[in-house]
Structure 1
Amino acid sequence: MSEDVTRGWQRPSIYDVARQAGVSHMTVSRVLNGHPNIRETTRDRVLAAIDEMNYTRSSIARALATRRAMRIGVLVDGPVQYGPNSTLRALESAARDVGYAISAFSISEDEESQIDTGVVELVTQGVDALCVIAPRASSLDILRRQTTGLPTIVIKAEPDAAWHTVAVDQRAGATLAVSHLIELGHERILHVAGPLDWYDARERQEGWRDALTAAGLPVVAPVAGDWTSDYGYRFASTYDFDHVTAVFAANDQMALGLVHGLCQRGFSVPGDVSVVGFDDLPDARHFLPPLTTVRQDFAALGELALKHVIDAIDGEEDGLQHDVIEPRLIVRASTGAPRP
């Protein structure tokens, strides 16, 4: 196709159809993908707009019409961890629903310097925007030195002076977990934190501290873990729990290791020590005992992140935005009243 023909291409985009039908672009996408939970009147209005505008779902046509690659570049920090991995899958699903593709570049915990390589690789693919999932402070320090000219969204639980940010409210989730333990009567609540280079780990630790302080309870010195079940097991195998009746672990994997280590030493969970996790792994309900934990809605997070990405691409973000999703406490059998 010649450059002149490309320049004159006027085929409507999904956003044009949405405006014509008076609905969101997500609704148009759901109609196109046959989602069942769409009112018939809405479906008919969208289909009529599609017919009127002679809209096709061709990705090439959309890219030509909008001057976009219809592709979002995603940097994933710590991709082997459950949270980052689940967020990426949710973002991919939300993007696919509206005709965008995802190009992902993963950065392992021992390859912080790879963030430069990742940015270059994604930018050279002609992506329309960047999204950064589960960043560590050290990784963002490197990213701050980059100048891409692209809209950038960072999935981070606190606002940032440089980028749009979205997240599940990590501090609120930790506060829910610790408040639950306090309501059960616990007064000595230990926190096994994640690595404090991770923003999520910092926010969860601050939520634990906030809840204890608000209740006038002592703050036991937190312990810095590494997200793994092995760490939780090793810690529980040697720690003196005589002055602690409950543990809030920064993720479910460490909670699993804690329960294993405690039980192997003859402690009852929750009879002697209550344990709360964070994330609500799919298997958390099958731990022995089933784990009380904080659930993050990754599907909603993916949709929210995508909305902000597309709004930023469209130039519809007014200043730097920060948006959060509230987590939920899931109470199971790993928590109970403290021992006498």
Structure 2
Amino acid sequence: MPGRKPSINDVARIAGVSYQTVSRVINSAPDVSPATRARIQQIIADVGYHRNRAAAALVTNRSTSIGIVTDGSPRFGPVGTLLSLESVIRERGYTATVVAVNEPYDESVQDAFDTLDELGVDGIIIIAPRLSMASAVVAASVRVPVEMIAAGASGTSNIVTYSENQELGARMATQHLIDLGHTDIAHIAGSMEWFDARVRKRGWESALRDAGLAPGLCVEGDWSPKWAYETGLRLIEEGRVPRAIFAVSDHTALGLIRAFAENGVRVPEDVSIVGFDDVEGSDYFLPPLTTVRQDFPALARATIDVLLSAVEGHAAHRAPSAPTLVVRNSAIRAR
């Protein structure tokens, strides 16, 4: 096939099968024998055939494209979710079109939906970390299936929701401190405008109550290491440093650890700390941070399954993906 790109007909001719059989393999249809499927897939790889998406869209009346709407947040959770979604969408044979929105969300979300609708996407996934953005999503109109990733948010008749079970992650972090014998467990929280902050606070509260302990100190802030550092300094100055802390994020834990280290408060000897996110490098904090790891690839795979089910016109019931507690050296048994 010198001088031109290989076509689906070329693959069919080399494999000794029909055009329709190759098409079924490309579209992951079930009615092809494993041996034939493997042979065709190998030929596709050998000749370098790539699907013509424009032609496929004309034939199937589907774009094989999924829209993603994000608020452009640089925070670990939204960024990790976006990157994993884009990767899984490509693995499933689709393309991703990403649109970032800004406040006021009432205008930008509807504009994003209109743009993606004009591009002919099959469905839209919204990464909505903030309550105000989610409200705009619910109020907007769109003609294709919509799925919103928002921890703890409820769906509507037109919007399905999915998320990781971050409340469970917060319970796991808090329970780890309880199992170490701590009873004075504070929460250095994020902004309650964020779904993640709300469910993590709820998990902290419920774990304490289930253990017969009253929720103690809770300070809400902006997630940043700078704010956490300043909060740590204030707690030292006021003589209110607790014996154990569940920090809403690893970056929050980082700010606290620095404030304590600069003022002779030892982690974990004087105060045990557990974070959330397992950001890159958290195992090189001093001390290495015990934290909760989010499985973004698993979240992305389940999210795509839910959306594609909606595109096909049927519901997919998937339990929220579960996080994992990663035990390191920043929390020890109460003394």
- Please give the range of the TM-score, normalised by the shorter of the 2 chains: 0.7 to 0.9
What does residue 46 of structure 1 align with? 37
Displacement after TM superposition at 1:248 (Å) = 0.7
Displacement after TM superposition at 1:83 (Å) = 0.7
SS of 1:148's equivalent in the other structure is coil
- Does the CA contact (< 8 Å) of 2:302 and 2:318 recur in 1? no
The residue type equivalent to 1:19 in the other structure is P
Displacement after TM superposition at 1:78 (Å) = 4.8
**1:316–1:14 CA distance, 2 compared to 1 (3 A):** farther
- Does the CA contact (< 8 Å) of 1:79 and 1:106 recur in 2? no
Counterpart CA distance in 2 for 1:255 and 1:173 is 16
Cα deviation 1:162-198 (Å, max 9, x = unaligned)? 4222211010000000000000011011111111111
- Does the CA contact (< 8 Å) of 2:292 and 2:324 recur in 1? yes
What does residue 298 of structure 2 align with? 300
What does residue 177 of structure 2 align with? 181
Compute the RMSD of aligned alpha carbons: 2.5
**1:218–1:70 CA distance, 2 compared to 1 (3 A):** same
What does residue 20 of structure 1 align with? 31
What does residue 112 of structure 1 align with? 105
Counterpart CA distance in 2 for 1:310 and 1:49 is 25
**1:205–1:15 CA distance, 2 compared to 1 (3 A):** farther
The residue type equivalent to 1:189 in the other structure is I
What does residue 5 of structure 2 align with? none
Counterpart CA distance in 2 for 1:48 and 1:116 is 46
Question: TM-score, normalization: structure 1?
Answer: 0.83
Counterpart CA distance in 1 for 2:280 and 2:134 is 30
- Greater shift in the superposed pair: 132-141 or 264-273: 132-141
Give 1:160's match in structure 2, choosing from 155, 170, 180: 155
Counterpart CA distance in 1 for 2:188 and 2:59 is 52
Give 2:269's match in structure 1, choosing from 268, 271, 279: 271
SS of 1:174's equivalent in the other structure is helix
- Greater shift in the superposed pair: 247-256 or 118-127: 118-127
**1:152–1:267 CA distance, 2 compared to 1 (3 A):** same
The residue type equivalent to 1:171 in the other structure is E
Give 1:250's match in structure 2, choosing from 229, 248, 251: 248
What does residue 25 of structure 1 align with? none
Counterpart CA distance in 1 for 2:105 and 2:25 is 37
**1:172–1:275 CA distance, 2 compared to 1 (3 A):** same
Give 1 or 2 for the bigger CA radius of gyration.
2
Uncovered stretches (5+) of structure 2, i.e. residues with no partner = 1-18, 43-48
- Greater shift in the superposed pair: 201-210 or 190-199: 190-199
Cα deviation 1:57-97 (Å, max 9, x = unaligned)? 32223322321111111111352111111111101111111
SS of 1:21's equivalent in the other structure is coil
| Aligned positions of 1:101-140 closer than 5 A | 101-108=95-102, 111-113=104-106, 114-140=108-134
The residue type equivalent to 2:331 in the other structure is T
**1:101–1:188 CA distance, 2 compared to 1 (3 A):** same
What does residue 222 of structure 1 align with? 218
**1:135–1:242 CA distance, 2 compared to 1 (3 A):** closer
Give 1:149's match in structure 2, choosing from 139, 143, 146: 143
**1:14–1:96 CA distance, 2 compared to 1 (3 A):** farther
Question: TM-score, normalization: structure 2?
Answer: 0.84
Displacement after TM superposition at 1:12 (Å) = 3.5
What does residue 278 of structure 2 align with? 280
Give 1:317's match in structure 2, choosing from 315, 318, 328: 315
Cα deviation 1:211-257 (Å, max 9, x = unaligned)? 00001112114211211111111110111454611111111111111
What does residue 38 of structure 1 align with? none
What does residue 33 of structure 1 align with? none
Uncovered stretches (5+) of structure 1, i.e. residues with no partner = 1-8, 23-41
